Amino acid sequence: MPQLEEPTPAVLGDMSPEDFRRHGHEIIDWISDYLAHTERYPVLPPTQPGDVRAALPPTAPAHGEDFAAIFSDVKDIIAPSLTHWNHPSFFAYFAITASAPGIFGELLCAAFNVNQMLWRTAPAATELEGVALDWLRQMLGLPDTFDGLIYDTASVSTLHAIAAARENLNLDIRERGMTGRSDSLPQLRVYTSEQAHSSVEKALILLGLGQHALRKIPTDEAFRMDAAELERAIIEDTNAGALPFCVVATVGTTSTTSIDPVPAIADVCERHNLWLHVDAAYAGSAAVIPEMQSILDGCARADSLVTNPHKWLFTPFDCSILYTRRMDVLRQAFSLIPEYLKTDDTQRVMNGMDYGVQLGRRFRSLKLWMVMRYFGQEGLAARLRDHNRLGQLFTSWIKDAPDWELLAPVPFSTICFRFTPRQHDADDDIATAHLDSLNEQLMHAVNSTGAMFISHTRLHDRFALRLTIGHIRTTETHIEQAWQLLRDHAAHLNQADM
């Protein structure tokens, strides 16, 4: 039997408004200090696996705790064991920023807690998303034939783009699937470069196309897709009875930030009637710099393009935008409206749930809109331009240092390089293996200082150190310190090696 007696009010309800205000002020004060002095923390914590779990009780408290005790654990247990992505010497993977206006956007998003599944469930959020995407599209110099929507990550945006490309084949796959059909389907094929992000391959796994559906096209000496090879592969596959349907080009590849020749790739796609998706997850943001808009040359001809404001546009994780000229196809691929979600305004409004796998959607445009308003296009461009300047400066140091080698061109602010002390300059396998190991040790050595964090990749089968500049508070001093640390530790390792 349900309990009918009313519980005492003290055991119900949320934190009181007074307490919320008091703790809220404390938290904002703390965040303000954190952002001003992130460098008090090591970028990479000395934490060992299991440390954090061991410091916390194995079960939840039966009775609620005072918020001061909870926040204390955040400061004493959680923060010291985080890798600090908001640290100006975070140079690994792609450096990102949760800027102040973006953090406010996240806070308000949590406070409103709207679910943007339908226009009706979040009218302002739905329309603000349209406004924010339109503003950014104009900043990037993309034509108004592109509409779009926000997902969490580029991996998910690309998954949706390839699903739309498949839907565009009109093979009845949405209804009849790909297996157990009386008319067996040909092998469907997607093309991308050997430098493309693994999210393309994962999308094919998830869409049931399988990894064999992907053909990785070789790249040139600057790690850009070879468009002639692409066309050759498409013709070869078609002649062999396969069905090419989509090409994913990359503007800003993950390892070296190379830019595929999108105009030539668009020509190939048009000739063979293939969907062109552009992965500009990282570098798309650089097109807010007016003199760099040519990085998106040819992208107006793409069917879809993903760019991540959470990577290089100072918007807190997560926020990925899929722009597409084919919203109708995306909708055709995903719209499925059960009775309980039917509304009578579908002809007049955009319902986000019609354009993807998920029903519920976060109000992500708020933080992006706040970031764009607070910094303005010129402010955003100035900051990105400065990152590129710092990237070129670091590149010049590498080029001028006799014991160091640049391993790829630097179109933006990501530098791939390695330490090559003279006694190891032979180009045989033993020397390569030795340099790989030396550089790997160097990476671990500088990272373990906690003063900086870089990552690595492999280029032409050589271990490459990779330093990327993209945090809003990174200055020349930070990269000077990084360069000094690298040289000091390299000298030390080399000495031990002799």
Q: Is 204 in the site for ligand PLP (CB under 6 A)?
A: no
Q: Is 279 in the site for ligand PLP (CB under 6 A)?
A: yes
91 and 452 Cβ atoms separated by less than 8 Å:
yes
SS (H, E, C) 116-145: CCCCCCCHHHHHHHHHHHHHHHHHHCCCCC
Q: Is 295 in the site for ligand PLP (CB under 6 A)?
A: no
Q: Name the one residue in this structure whose structure tokens are 């055709």.
A: 332
Q: Is 91 in the site for ligand PLP (CB under 6 A)?
A: no
Distance CA 241, CA 272 (A): 14
Comparing CB distances to ligand PLP, the nearer of 283 and 452 is 283
206 and 160 Cβ atoms separated by less than 8 Å:
no
Query: Residue from 256, 307, 320, 395 that binds ligand PLP (CB under 6 A)?
Result: 320
- For residue 95, the minimal CB distance to ligand PLP (Å) is 11
Task: Please work out the total of residues on this chain that contact ligand PLP, with binding judged by CB under 6 A.
Answer: 15
Comparing CB distances to ligand PLP, the nearer of 197 and 471 is 197
Distances (CA, A) of 498 to 274, 471, 493: 56, 37, 9
Comparing CB distances to ligand PLP, the nearer of 334 and 412 is 412
Q: How far, in whole angstroms, is CA 183 from its chain's centroid?
A: 39
Name which of residues 23 to 52 contact ligand PLP (CB under 6 A): none
Q: Is 94 in the site for ligand PLP (CB under 6 A)?
A: yes
Q: Which stretch binds ligand PLP (CB under 6 A): 175-183, 204-212, 279-287, 290-298?
A: 279-287
Q: Is 268 in the site for ligand PLP (CB under 6 A)?
A: no
- For residue 158, the minimal CB distance to ligand PLP (Å) is 7
Q: Is 159 in the site for ligand PLP (CB under 6 A)?
A: no
DSSP letter at 75 equals I
Query: Residue from 213, 230, 264, 281 that binds ligand PLP (CB under 6 A)?
Result: 281
Distance CA 445, CA 298 (A): 42
Q: Is 468 in the site for ligand PLP (CB under 6 A)?
A: no
- For residue 308, the minimal CB distance to ligand PLP (Å) is 5
Q: Using CA of residue 481, residue 483, residue 486, residue 488, what is the dihedral sign?
A: negative
Distance CA 291, CA 448 (A): 38
Distance CA 158, CA 282 (A): 13
Cβ contacts of 466 within 8 Å, gap of 6 or more: 92, 255, 414, 415, 416, 454, 455, 456, 457
Query: Residue from 199, 258, 324, 457 that binds ligand PLP (CB under 6 A)?
Result: 199
Comparing CB distances to ligand PLP, the nearer of 151 and 463 is 151
* Residue 316 in tokens: 């807190």
Comparing CB distances to ligand PLP, the nearer of 254 and 447 is 254
Amino acid at the residue 290: P
Q: Is 415 in the site for ligand PLP (CB under 6 A)?
A: no
Bridge-partner residues for 329, per DSSP? Answer: none
Q: What is the DSSP string of 243-284?
A: EEEEEEEEBS-TTT--B--HHHHHHHHHHHT-EEEEE-TTGG
- For residue 75, the minimal CB distance to ligand PLP (Å) is 28
* Residue 453 in tokens: 């964090």
Q: Name the one residue in this structure whose structure tokens are 């910094």.
A: 375
Q: Is 308 in the site for ligand PLP (CB under 6 A)?
A: yes
Q: Which stretch binds ligand PLP (CB under 6 A): 109-117, 251-259, 427-435, 445-453?
A: 251-259
Q: Is 154 in the site for ligand PLP (CB under 6 A)?
A: yes
Query: Under the rule (CB under 6 A), what is the footprint of ligand PLP?
Result: 94, 153-155, 197, 199, 250, 252-254, 279, 281-282, 308, 320
